[in-house]
Amino acid sequence: MKKEKTFFTLVFSIVAVMVLFIAVLTATFRYMGLQSAESKANLAAHIVQESLTSHMITGSSDYQNDLVKQIETLEGMKGVWIVRSDALSRQYGKGIHPQEAADDIDRAVLRDGKAIKNVSGTLFSDTLYRLSIPYIATENGKIDCLSCHDAKVGTVLGAVSIEMEINDLKITGLIAAATAIIVLVILTIYLLKMIRHYISSYKETLDEVAVTMEKAEGGDYSHRVEQSESSDGYKAAMWTNAVMEKLDTTLSESGRKMASLIRLDQQNSDPLYTLQMGVDQLYEVERFRAEIEKDQNLEEVYARIVALLRTRWNLSNFNILELNPLNKITQVVHTEKTLLCDAISGCRADRTSGMVDSSGCEIACPKMIDPEAHYVCQSYSIVDDLDIVVSLVTYEAREIGKIRLALEQLGNYINASKLQIINKKLQQTVRIDPLTQLYNRAYLEEMTKLIMAQSTRTMIPYGILMIDMDQFNLINHSYDITVGDEVIKSMAHNILEHIRQGDMLIRYGGDTFAVILYDYEGEEVLQVAEAIRLSFKKKIRVNTYAILKTVSIGVSLFPAQTSNMLEGVEFAKRALLEAKHQGGNSSLMYDPKSMPV
């Protein structure tokens, strides 16, 4: 339908141009014919006029009728007559032959003194050309009209009218116009046939290409262009189909690979849009992974996951758990709102290694405390001894779909960052004492470097305590190593009760603990040390045993005593050694004079 409309529009345009050309050509032939007739009539009229003038000079007056008759015998001449003006008739009379005005044209010429041309007749009747010219009185030239006529210069004395048949010119013009029309029509038909032939060879292919592109724009890249009979159309169809085949195959394969890599925000029928969306999300995931790589510890990684849930998916009620499938230990990493499930005693999502969705079952998880809550929990396996579980809660059932999608997409970020999370976990494991779950000596050495870097700017005072139980080896000898381990754990718990949350307790080795007191002056540090020492007056209960042990504490100050915190630790160890030498159960401040390192 579109092809026919386009072709007929082209035909109409060409025909319109041809008709306009024929009209111009016909008008040109007519103009040329009239010009020829006018030239011929002018010649005859001026012959009559000149003859009249010549005969007036010789004094012959009977010449007029003969002259008119002679001119009328010329080919194509219809009639010639001379008109005498009223002034001339009054002076000389009406003459031998009638010389009155034949019609309004003659009277207009006598009145205005201007020549008048007129064409009369139709296409199927005789066509006449009429020319009437005035005879005006002059006093200069061949004759002085004023010498004979009672008139002034410029007075119209008469007129000469000639009427000619121009049928021959009309027929000649019609024949020429008809010939031109026939030639143009033949040329137009030939041109249209050639145009139709060439256009049709491309038009069908172009229409098919347009349909293919339209379907591709809508996401369907499987449509192909039908092969054309013409060689040019065939090539266009062949190359278009080759490109579409390559595009369809590439997008389909890329879409499948993309789907295996990440869970997209939303599905789309257009594989190109899906690919673009997948690339955008992979870029976001890679940025997330790169940022995690810069994080110092696993806590910062969890903080980044929390920020992602808040900002990327606008979620506000979720919990993050860290589970060890090997020893079944569960730790709550983050609670955005109140924890609504008893996951500490075991997590169903982690046990099933998948997703638990309350919309799929009335009681999807028996651990959920609030029966009114809708929830989705997803377990992400990181390594053998580490799983991360994210639990999302809502009180609107319609938000379950959004929550499921968020957890599935969160998997993109976590899966891409597994190596970084494992590295952070290993770093944490290396820096955590397995017995007390406190930071170890390696962590202390790292932290001292950070504290020294900050202290040059903040000038915050720190206190350093080195705590050691007096004669701890007797516990292992008297009881056993298991009891000794429990005493060390109780010792750590006792110290934690006497320091602030911002302070740092580190198991330095064996029964020795280091305490870094944040923002303490000298006297305050000694007060804390003494409070810890006195707290060990209470017996430590292990199973059925009640053990009473004292501690010795060495104290140093940073940066008051040294600008190197590691040196400050050595000072505190030297003070601890001195306390031990003095009998133990005491706390001593490092004195550089009496306690050389």
User: How many whole angstroms separate alpha carbon 528 and alpha carbon 173?
Assistant: 129
> Is beta strand 156-165 parallel, antiparallel or unpaired with respect to 355-357?
unpaired
Give the residue numbers spanning the domain of 526. 439-589
Task: For residue range 527-579, list pLDDT tens digits in order.
Answer: 999 999 999 988 888 887 888 889 999 999 999 999 999 999 999 999 999 99
Whether 409 and 513 share a structural domain: no
Task: For residue range 314-354, list pLDDT tens digits in order.
Answer: 988 888 888 888 877 788 888 887 777 777 777 888 888 78
Number of domains into which the chain is organized? 3
Q: How far is CA 136 from the centre of its chain?
A: 86
The answer to whether position 415 is within a domain reads yes
If pLDDT is split at 50, 70 and 90, which confidence band does 451 have? confident
Once rounded to an integer, what is the mean pLDDT over residues 218-223? 80
Whether 338 and 457 share a structural domain: no
**492: closest CA among 508, 471, 478, 513?**
513
Cα 338 to Cα 332, 344, 391: the distances in Å are 12, 14, 12
Q: Any idea what the CATH number is for the domain that residue 506 is in?
A: 3.30.70.270
Task: For residue range 224-234, list pLDDT tens digits in order.
Answer: 877 666 666 67
End-to-end Cα spacing for the chain: 102
pLDDT for position 3: 53
Task: For residue range 384-414, list pLDDT tens digits in order.
Answer: 888 899 988 888 888 888 888 888 888 888 8
Let me know if 266 is exposed, middle or buried by CB neighbors in 10 A (0-12, 13-18, 19+): exposed
Whether 73 and 7 share a structural domain: yes
Whether omega for the bond prior to residue 559 falls within 30 degrees of 0, making it cis, is: yes
Whether 390 and 453 share a structural domain: no
The answer to whether position 419 is within a domain reads yes
Whether 69 and 164 share a structural domain: yes
Cα 89 to Cα 48, 105, 404, 526: the distances in Å are 19, 19, 121, 157
Domain final residue pick, 171, 189, 206: 171
Token pair, residue 202, equals 């491309």
Whether 56 and 137 share a structural domain: yes
Helix 2-58, helix 167-217: angle, nearest 10: 160
Domain final residue pick, 407, 429, 451: 429
Alpha helices in 374-480 (DSSP H): 400-416, 418-431, 441-458, 473-478
Q: Do the Cβ atoms of 578 and 595 come closer than 8 Å? A: yes
The answer to whether position 500 is within a domain reads yes
> Is beta strand 551-558 parallel, antiparallel or unpaired with respect to 587-589?
parallel
Coil, strand or helix: which one is 220? coil
Residue 1 has pLDDT above 80, yes or no: no
Rg (CA), the chain: 60
**Quick one: CA torsion of 63, 68, 74, 80, rounded to 10 degrees?**
160
Whether 471 and 494 share a structural domain: yes
Q: Do the Cβ atoms of 323 and 329 come closer than 8 Å? A: yes
**Quick one: CA torsion of 181, 186, 192, 196, rounded to 10 degrees?**
170
Q: What is the mean pLDDT of the chain?
A: 81
Task: For residue range 253-276, list pLDDT tens digits in order.
Answer: 877 777 776 776 666 677 777 778
Single-letter code of the amino acid located at 111: R
DSSP state of 227: P
User: How many whole angstroms separate alpha carbon 195 and alpha carbon 187?
Assistant: 12
Residue 19 has pLDDT above 80, yes or no: no
- The sheet carrying 128-136 orders its strands as 77-84, 156-165, 128-136, 116-120
The answer to whether position 270 is within a domain reads no
Whether 357 and 478 share a structural domain: no
User: How many whole angstroms separate alpha carbon 431 and alpha carbon 421?
Assistant: 15
Whether 79 and 32 share a structural domain: yes
Length of the chain (residues) = 597
Whether 443 and 396 share a structural domain: no
Q: Do the Cβ atoms of 389 and 321 come closer than 8 Å? A: yes
**Quick one: CA torsion of 360, 362, 367, 371, rounded to 10 degrees?**
120
**What residues contact residue 62 under an 8 Å CB cut-off, 6+ apart?**
96
Coil, strand or helix: which one is 561? coil
**243: closest CA among 201, 277, 209, 274?**
209
The answer to whether position 183 is within a domain reads no
pLDDT for position 464: 96
In the structure, how many helices (H) and strands (E) does the chain have? 16, 17
Task: For residue range 46-91, list pLDDT tens digits in order.
Answer: 666 666 666 655 555 556 677 777 777 777 777 888 887 777 777 7
pLDDT for position 33: 63
**359: closest CA among 313, 404, 409, 405?**
404
Highest mean pLDDT among 192-206, 224-238, 247-261, 516-530: 516-530
User: How many whole angstroms separate alpha carbon 116 and alpha carbon 318?
Assistant: 107
The secondary structure element, H or E, covering residue 2 is helix 2-58
SS (H, E, C) 358-386: HHHCCCCCCCECCCCCEEEEEEEEEECCE
pLDDT for position 4: 60
φ/ψ of residue 341, rounded to 5: -135, 155
Token pair, residue 514, equals 């280091």
Single-letter code of the amino acid located at 263: R
Whether 449 and 418 share a structural domain: no
User: How many whole angstroms separate alpha carbon 579 and alpha carbon 556?
Assistant: 13
Residue 581 has pLDDT above 80, yes or no: yes
Task: For residue range 113-153, list pLDDT tens digits in order.
Answer: 888 888 877 766 677 878 888 877 777 766 666 667 666 77
Whether 533 and 396 share a structural domain: no
Domain final residue pick, 399, 429, 459: 429
If pLDDT is split at 50, 70 and 90, which confidence band does 516 have? very high
Comparison of pLDDT for 486 and 221, the residue scoring more:
486
Q: Please tell me the least confidently modeled range out of 241-245, 309-313, 468-472, 566-570.
A: 241-245
Task: For residue range 346-386, list pLDDT tens digits in order.
Answer: 788 888 878 888 887 767 787 777 878 888 888 998 888 88
Q: Any idea what the CATH number is for the domain that residue 87 is in?
A: 3.30.450.20
The answer to whether position 350 is within a domain reads yes
The answer to whether position 223 is within a domain reads no
Comparison of pLDDT for 261 and 443, the residue scoring more:
443
